[in-house]
Amino acid sequence: MEKKKMINNSMFDKSMLLRAVKDSFIKLSPKDELKNPVMFLVYVSALLTTILFVFSLFGIKDGIVTAAFILCVAIILWATCLFSNFAEAVAEGRGKAQADSLRATRKEVIAHKLIDKNDKNQIESIEGTLLKKGDYFLVEANEQIPADGEVVEGAASVDESAITGESAPVIREAGGDRSAVTGGTTILSDWLVIKVTQEAGNSFLDKMIGMVEGANRKKTPNEVALEILLVALSLIFLLVTASLYTYTSMTSVLLGVKDSISVVWLIALLVCLAPTTIGALLSAIGIAGMSRLNRANVLAMSGRAIEAAGDVDVLLLDKTGTITLGNRRAAEFIPVDGHEISEVADVAQLASLADETPEGRSIVILAKNQFGLRERKINEKHLEFIPFTAQTKMSGVNYANVEIRKGAAANIEKYVKENNHQYSKECQNIVEKISKKGGTPLVVTKNYEIYGIIYLKDIIKKGVKEKFADLRKMGIQTIMITGDNPITAAAIAAEAGVDDFLAQATPESKLETIKEFQKKGHLVAMTGDGTNDAPALAQADVAVAMNSGTQAAKEAGNMVDLDSSPTKLLEIVKIGKQLLMTRGSLTTFSIANDISKYFAIIPAIFMNLYPRLQVLNIMHLSSPTSAILSALIFNALIIVALIPLALKGVKYREVTAKKLLNHNLLIYGLGGIIIPFIAIKLIDMIVASLLGIV
């Protein structure tokens, strides 16, 4: 199935970059700057330096620095603020572009409200925005659904491409786990009676627009904790700088040195000491993480959920559709009690002619491929097909005094014995062997005589075992959830390579399993789509509800997978871990590159007063002026240089935490020390050649 062509939301899209540049200047308002305490410190420093420049024009001197030097520092500090705003604006740009696209799909719709929910002929036409929770309305072919709701009557084909990007229509019908519909989608055929579950302004589309735009993004606990650390460091460096000013001023008086220190120098020192690099990129990293999740067609109801996904260490995965392909397939016909395999195939195919399930179709195909059973000699008019029911757990066909049945072994045994026939002991032994292998045995009979067994096999998805091995390396435990019996579940779990399994799963057992792991300090993730999954989804730390599922499941989850793909949970965990890795790596780099800035700026500021500090000038920078400007320029440019990495994220590696830590310390720790030394020296060489104008 092809996806609808998505908007161009590349970081290098011209219109998006222009919008980000404009937003960078808009974000210079004190109200916006105050949201980022570290960069607010730079903002105040830029204001103070600008004021000092104005004073210098009127002859009010600041130590030995010139007006031109103060102007250069002010420009660099304002540029640093703009670069920080630009990083955030670019990260937000993708979400805003997607939000604009979603808004374009929303239009005023006339709703056919039912005056009496049981009478489709009593209709009142009103604006869709006037619908209230609990109202009922009718939607027919080629009409847009005006509000979120649950289908209470009817079945129809629905185009959800405006929400999911998927061009193929889906079936929505009353009852079951496919009853939820979203406002803004369009019915292509038939009709539906829908009960409103969300009022205007709180619809799923409204939530999508708010989340992708970033308007509803709240800082995550880890993000808040890191920000508190950065603020604490900044306050410490502010006190250090103030103390240095006092100490240096007193020393200057005692030594009789005039104009030994400048406020602008100390401002430059403070900005270089403060963790401005990670402070400038912290918000962009969080927004970009949510954007990556949006591009994976997952709507996160909170940033906390994305962050929790990165810390998850227990995954509860549905067997069907996640670990297996989703449909059991006929793999073999096994005859018993002297019957020929061709007889079993013939009887099995007859019993499956009216079976439209994937399993039934696979039986017909296997019989056709193995024995060429294509045309039936029996006149279809004389066939009485017996459909599968939850009570009998059998299906089959009757014709010309012949009864053919296929079904679960226990039900066939009961059916045979109730008609005064013996159940085959050989059949019973084979059924047990198939169950132990993880397969599903279906027994076939003709006139109450056991002919043989159809071996249905769960097909494990290619690469799943390797993926679970990678997750194990990362310390993540995988648990398969299935309704199969324990013997079958154990066999499939062993073949797939999961760590554990929950057989014959019920809503209660899922909930209790999650609670038990959480009591032990684990973070648990799971997926679900039905109302019976809602309790477990509400309990899980990361709960991914399928968009095709019920409203109850979507409200219980903290993420919604618009593609309704059970395997998406693995990708979500990957994105969550990538977010944490990116934040940790850039924090390491930011703190590491401060070391080189200390060696550049501290000797430059205090060398005149303390000549012995010359030994710290290991980069042999040209002059105090060029050294200070070079450190500030690097401090500003490194923010721009790291924007692509903050938005794209650090490359995800499925390794143990220890290996990951060692790798990050080597790349971003050691690299964060070496790169600034080289860059500041190169900038100093350029600045030194321009000092004539400074």
Q: Are 450 and 407 in contact (CB under 8 A)?
A: no
Give the C-alpha separation, 145 to 191, whole Å. Answer: 11
Return the axis-axis angle of helices 263-273 and 568-606, rounded to nearest 10°. 150
Give bridge partners of residue 524 from the DSSP assignment: 314
Max CA pair span of the chain: 121
Those residues whose C-beta lies under 8 Å from the C-beta of residue 249, and which sit 6 or more positions away, are 261
Q: Which helix (H) or strand (E) holds 216?
A: none
- Continuous H helices in 120-220: 161-164, 204-213
* Amino acid, res. 635: N
Is 204 marked within a binding site?
A: no
Is 99 marked within a binding site?
A: no
Identify which of 489, 484, 479 has the alpha carbon closest to the alpha carbon of residue 514.
Answer: 479
| Tokens standing for residue 661 | 């830590």
Q: Are 570 and 306 in contact (CB under 8 A)?
A: no
Is residue 622 classed exposed, middle or buried when 0-12, 13-18 and 19+ CB atoms within 10 A define those classes? middle
Is 422 marked within a binding site?
A: no
Give the C-alpha separation, 284 to 639, whole Å. Answer: 11
Pairing of strands 402-408, 394-399: antiparallel
Q: In the annotation, is 119 catalytic?
A: no
Give the C-alpha separation, 123 to 315, whole Å. Answer: 48
Is 385 marked within a binding site?
A: no
Is residue 356 classed exposed, middle or buried when 0-12, 13-18 and 19+ CB atoms within 10 A define those classes? exposed
Those residues whose C-beta lies under 8 Å from the C-beta of residue 511, and which sit 6 or more positions away, are 535, 536, 539
Return the axis-axis angle of helices 37-57 and 276-295, rounded to nearest 10°. 130
Is 392 marked within a binding site?
A: yes
Using DSSP, state whether 57 is helix, strand or coil: helix
Catalytic: which of 62, 135, 159, 318? 318
Q: Are 308 and 541 in contact (CB under 8 A)?
A: yes
Is residue 692 classed exposed, middle or buried when 0-12, 13-18 and 19+ CB atoms within 10 A define those classes? exposed
Number of helices and strands in the chain (H, E): 23, 21
Is 348 marked within a binding site?
A: no
Is 116 marked within a binding site?
A: no
Is 5 marked within a binding site?
A: no
Give the C-alpha separation, 533 to 550, whole Å. Answer: 10
Place of tokens 């999508």: 208
Give the C-alpha separation, 281 to 278, whole Å. Answer: 5
Q: What is the DSSP secondary structure assignment for residue 481, as one 8-state letter?
A: E
Is 98 marked within a binding site?
A: no
Q: Are 171 and 178 in contact (CB under 8 A)?
A: yes
Those residues whose C-beta lies under 8 Å from the C-beta of residue 525, and which sit 6 or more positions away, are 308, 309, 312, 314, 315, 316, 540, 541, 542, 543, 544, 569, 572, 573
| Tokens standing for residue 98 | 């997607």
Sheet (strand 440-446) strand order: 329-335, 449-457, 440-446, 402-408, 394-399, 384-386
Is 484 marked within a binding site?
A: no
Is 529 marked within a binding site?
A: yes
* Amino acid, res. 339: H
Give the C-alpha separation, 247 to 265, whole Å. Answer: 15
List residues forming the annotated binding site for Mg(2+).
Answer: 529, 533
Give the residue numbers of the binding site for ATP.
355, 359, 388-395, 406
Would you list which residues are annotated within the binding site? 355, 359, 388-395, 406, 529, 533
Question: Could you list the active site residues?
Answer: 318
